[in-house]
Structure 1
Amino acid sequence: MFRTLLSKMTENAAKRLKMSADGAITIGTHNGHFHADEALAVHMLRTHIPTYASARLVRTRDPDRLAECHTVVDVGGEYDASRNRYDHHQRSFSTTFPGRPTKLSSAGLVYMHFGQEIIARRLAVPTDSETVSLIYTKIYESFIEALDAHDNGIDVYDPAGIAAAGLTKRFANGGFTLGAMVGRLNPNWNDPVPEDAAAAQELEDARFEAASRRIGEEFDRDLDYYTKSWLPAREIVAAAFAARGEYDAEGRILVFKGQSVPWKDHLYTLESQDTDVRKPLYVLYPEKPTPDAKWRVQCVPESKDSFQSRKPLPETWRGFRDDKLDEISGIEGCVFVHAAGFIGGNKSFAGALAMAKKALEL
């Protein structure tokens, strides 16, 4: 039902575009200080939807000029997909992406209506395919939702919960979020501005175009990752997960024989779907796909973005290398164990497997 609904949204959007394609296409958005959401919305339309490939951009808050635009994003106080209006600032707006709680920004609105088409074109498959639906949701959760939250002033964590727990930051992270990356491309308060209004607007529009390209590059990288890397890795991780009992009776060791692939996301999904409570603690993979490659022993994190391992490598091994590590561990061919204990290495698969098995006992 979810795929059917999204497919109809994409189909209807395509029909509206065809009906309007005989005239010049213009995309309207607001002028002044720009944000990541409208910068990405414009990029997605102009780069990935053929009808918008040569679209002219109009940046204004003038209602009369916006009314003349074929499509309007992030301004105008109206969300009406049948009229290609994608604003989210009106008081009555509460739309979210299917299955997610975060209120949409203009980026989320454009992605919700055109994302399936973007992915289907990249994969050269029908928009209603299961694969498109899978990646459509993953890209929203991994990329778009952060922009929606940022533009709507939604914190990653509940501020009241953070305060109640007495948690404080250990260090400043520079604020380098996707939103901040675009924000940095706005002019500084004391940058010179041309006296001529038209020249000033032209300079501001050029900055916006640069911002749209910049956030667009990151979106395209995410799109390429999920379609060209993450998706092909899915079957490889599933096969290794199914064979995990081959190396440890309790299934605590996962092995990728050919080469490492993006495995964390797929592993947690497989674990959530499997009734077997056995969870891998270590993942083994060669550093490169050659017979003489060294092997890595990587600890499985407690969660995808966690630095905490389910079972770190033994404390007595950490920070040692080569012969000294061989001596301490009693295993030949050791290369290193990181001081934090989340990863180690050996010259051979047999040695890496021996490290993982011994670590399970300690």
Structure 2
Amino acid sequence: MIRILAKMAENAAKRLKISDSGVTIGTHNGHFHADEALAVHMLRQLPTYTSASLVRTRDPALLATCHTVVDVGGEYDASQNRYDHHQRSFTTTFPGRPTKLSSAGLVYLHFGQALVANYLKQNEDSEDVSVVWRKIYESFIEALDAHDNGISAYDPDAIAAGGIEKRFSDGGFGLGAVVGRLNPNWNDDLPSDPVEAQAAEDARFETASKRIGEEFDRDLAYYTSAWLPARAIVQAAYAKRQEFDPEGRVMVLEGQSVPWKDHLYSLEEEQKTEDKKKVLYVLYPEKPTPDAKWRIQAVPVTQDSFQSRKALPEPWRGARDSALDEITGVPGGVFIHASGFIGGNKTFEGAKALADKACSF
């Protein structure tokens, strides 16, 4: 699978043809969006495009002189470095995902593995590169693709049928707004000279590209330097979970806590774990020292859910210290959160005893 994806996305370096005059990236002028702003940023992180100049125009003759064109031109042809998605015939999606790509998704599809590989200092066809490449698409790029193509995160008909109404405004803020709000307002004073007006607009675009790029760079840094190393630790803990509970319902992160939710759900899905054998509680030390207190955390139903698969027992909730010890019968209690999603004990043995009791409560 890794090699198939790598071949499909291609090694970016093989397609890049540098002219004597250097590399120019072309995109459209006028109102700008998050997808082309990020596409330009991502290209500029690659050696070939580090010093690339940018042309913002809709003039076909001028676009034809550009080395690479994104989000304009009505053509998708990776062999010619043309990455537009507005033509009616365009239906390309990222492997295994349903969302039609925008220019951000197209550039990431073809150059994302090179970006990740450069960051990890690994070959593009390595397993680590493939895992991070897919994860960043799903966690970051796909939202931009959907936003630009007018695809809702939820089925509007299903929401209407369920009578679900939004309780409050979130300000309309999302990845698209990071860029969109940097366009000029309708009543802003703009230069009367067309050349000056275009220069001012281009400057705004450069600011927007840098802004959305900073968010992308943060995600890239996180998933390569924190999320990926945590994956191996969670894999090891998941493999050992039956040492702590015969049904595998308790997972212990020995040594220190790491981001575990995403990896746990993936492992359960990959191994087709039965519902009755899915992890209910995760135990981990508060800090990587021998005298550390331990936490017990109920696994959420989903990554972002406030609902737990099995919250800690209701009689325990809100209790602390000796009062908690009396209720649970387990010494060393620190607290149980009022919602039952997390608690603490002074020792691993205490946290493990709480997990055992909670599993059978």
TM-score range, shorter chain: over 0.9
Give, in angstroms, the shift of residue 89 of structure 1.
Answer: 0.9
Name the amino acid aligned to 1:4: I
Name the amino acid aligned to 1:285: Y
Give, in angstroms, the shift of residue 121 of structure 1.
Answer: 1.2
Q: Distance in 2 between matches of 1:290 and 1:356?
A: 21
Instruction: Summarize the alignment of residues 183-332 of structure 1 with structure 2, pairs less than 5 Å apart.
Output: 183-274=180-271, 277=274, 278-332=277-331
Residue in structure 1 matching 2:72, options 72, 75, 95: 75
Name the amino acid aligned to 1:284: L
TM-score (norm: length of structure 1): 0.94
Which residue is 2:97 aligned to?
100
Residue 30 of structure 2 is aligned to residue 3 of structure 1: no
Name the amino acid aligned to 2:123: P
In 1, are the aligned partners of 2:2 and 2:127 still within 8 Å (CA)?
no
Q: Distance in 2 between matches of 1:153 and 1:160?
A: 15
Greater CA deviation, 150-159 or 314-323? Answer: 314-323
Q: 1:204 to 1:282 in 2, by over 3 A?
A: same
In 2, are the aligned partners of 1:27 and 1:70 still within 8 Å (CA)?
yes
Q: Distance in 2 between matches of 1:150 and 1:122?
A: 27
Q: Distance in 1 between matches of 2:319 and 2:28?
A: 57
Residue 34 of structure 2 is aligned to residue 40 of structure 1: no
Name the amino acid aligned to 2:36: E
TM superposition outliers: structure 1 runs of 4+ over 4 Å: none
Q: Distance in 1 between matches of 2:335 and 2:199?
A: 56
Name the amino acid aligned to 2:6: L
Which residue is 2:23 aligned to?
25
Q: 1:210 to 1:322 in 2, by over 3 A?
A: farther
Residue 103 of structure 2 is aligned to residue 88 of structure 1: no
Q: 1:307 to 1:329 in 2, by over 3 A?
A: same
Q: Secondary structure at the match of 1:27?
A: strand
Greater CA deviation, 88-97 or 195-204? Answer: 195-204
Q: 1:318 to 1:187 in 2, by over 3 A?
A: farther
Q: Secondary structure at the match of 1:210?
A: helix
Q: Distance in 2 between matches of 1:200 and 1:318?
A: 61
Q: Distance in 2 between matches of 1:260 and 1:228?
A: 15
Q: 1:354 to 1:174 in 2, by over 3 A?
A: farther
Residue 116 of structure 2 is aligned to residue 116 of structure 1: no
Q: 1:281 to 1:59 in 2, by over 3 A?
A: same
Cα deviations by residue, 1:60-115 (Å, 9 ceiling, x for unpaired): 22222212211111111111111111111112211111221111000000001111
The percentage of counterpart residues that share the same residue type is 70
Q: Which runs of 5+ in 2 are unaligned?
A: none
Which residue is 2:134 aligned to?
137
In 2, are the aligned partners of 1:4 and 1:128 still within 8 Å (CA)?
no
Cα deviations by residue, 1:16-47 (Å, 9 ceiling, x for unpaired): 31x32433211111122211100110000002
Q: Distance in 2 between matches of 1:274 and 1:4?
A: 22
Cα deviations by residue, 1:334-359 (Å, 9 ceiling, x for unpaired): 22222221111122222222222222
In 2, are the aligned partners of 1:287 and 1:293 still within 8 Å (CA)?
yes
How many residues get paired?
359
Q: Distance in 1 between matches of 2:323 and 2:201?
A: 60
Q: Secondary structure at the match of 2:10?
A: helix
In 2, are the aligned partners of 1:74 and 1:86 still within 8 Å (CA)?
yes
Q: Distance in 2 between matches of 1:242 and 1:41?
A: 39
In 2, are the aligned partners of 1:78 and 1:85 still within 8 Å (CA)?
yes
Q: Distance in 1 between matches of 2:286 and 2:59?
A: 57
Residue in structure 2 matching 1:56, options 53, 65, 71: 53
Cα deviations by residue, 1:200-242 (Å, 9 ceiling, x for unpaired): 2222222211111111111112112222122212221111111
In 2, are the aligned partners of 1:301 and 1:307 still within 8 Å (CA)?
yes
Q: Distance in 1 between matches of 2:140 and 2:36?
A: 14
Cα deviations by residue, 1:110-136 (Å, 9 ceiling, x for unpaired): 001111111111111211222222222
Q: 1:207 to 1:324 in 2, by over 3 A?
A: farther
Which residue is 1:125 aligned to?
122
Q: 1:2 to 1:239 in 2, by over 3 A?
A: closer
In 2, are the aligned partners of 1:318 and 1:337 still within 8 Å (CA)?
yes
Q: Distance in 2 between matches of 1:219 and 1:171?
A: 28
Q: 1:99 to 1:8 in 2, by over 3 A?
A: closer
Which residue is 2:354 aligned to?
355
Q: Secondary structure at the match of 1:254?
A: strand
Alpha-carbon RMSD: 1.8
